[in-house]
Amino acid sequence: QAKDDRIDSAIQAEYNNLLNGLNAYKTSAIDKNKEQLMSLLSDEIVKRYDYSEGLYKYYTLNNPEIKKATEILSKPAVYNSYLRP
């Protein structure tokens, strides 16, 4: 039992050392490549934003509920008729 406990603690210590080394490497790699990472992240954000905008434009033109809502909102008399009891 004592022998197993020593082995377990040795393995745990090595595991912790590996995790610490890996975390230090990740931090170093991020710092080293910060400019490239920021550029890639910016590109991805822009792509996702444009995709969403494109999707919204598509829905505005093709979604029947949105088309009907746009039609109602563009005609004040029709819009007001929905507001009255």
Give, rounded to a whole angstrom, the gap between the first and last alpha carbons of the chain. 81
Q: What is the mean pLDDT of the chain?
A: 86
* Angle CA 49–61–50, to nearest 5: 10
Q: Quick one: what percent of the chain has pLDDT higher than 90?
A: 46
Cα 9 to Cα 2: distance, rounded to the nearest angstrom: 11
- State residue 62's pLDDT score: 84
Question: Is the confidence at residue 24, as pLDDT, over 90?
Answer: yes
> Mean pLDDT, to the nearest integer, of 45-74?
83
Q: What are the residue ranges spanned by the domains of the chain?
A: 1-32, 34-85
Would you place residue 5 in the very low, low, confident or very high pLDDT band (cuts 50, 70, 90)?
A: confident
CA distances, 55 to each of 4, 26, 28, 51 (Å): 60, 36, 39, 6
Between 11 and 25, name the one with better pLDDT: 25
